[in-house]
Amino acid sequence: MALEWEQVIVDAADPVALGRWWAEALGWVVVNDDPDEFEIRPAPDRLPGLLFADVPEKKTGKNRLHLDFRPDDQAAEVARLLTLGARPADVGQGDETWVVLADPEGNEFCVLSSRRA
């Protein structure tokens, strides 16, 4: 039996707004603009994607699963994401080489140190 990783589901109060935010943040494309299940991918035929699903309850507590991103330039990428509407997040990480941010609905993600040349 073979498995293919298709997508990560992100619970959202507003799937369209959050999905569009992530599409802009990642430079991905929208492949399904359904307001209850909004999906983005790196390209229309590339997996995995992110699917934003409508849920009635608000996020509480720290994410049990989060995404890590390795940028070319950490400082520039953090500044860009903050400009888009991310905000700094403290999950008790202390003084580390990565920066923890939260998307507009409070989902934490990490911007790792810059890629090495």
Render pLDDT for 60-107 as a digit per residue (tens, 0 to 9).
Answer: 888 888 999 999 999 999 999 999 999 999 877 777 889 999 999 999
pTM of the full structure:
0.90
How confident is the prediction for the chain on average, in pLDDT? 93
The pLDDT, as a whole number, for residue 62 is: 83
Topology given in CATH for the domain delimited by 1-56: 2,3-Dihydroxybiphenyl 1,2-Dioxygenase; domain 1 (3.10.180)
Q: Which CATH architecture has domain 66-117?
A: Roll (3.10)
Residue 117: which pLDDT band, with cuts at 50, 70 and 90? low
Structure confidence at residue 52 as a pLDDT band (50, 70, 90): very high
The whole-number pLDDT of residue 91 equals: 73
Sequence-distant (≥ 6) Cβ neighbours of residue 100 within 8 angstroms: 88, 89, 90, 91, 93, 108, 109, 110
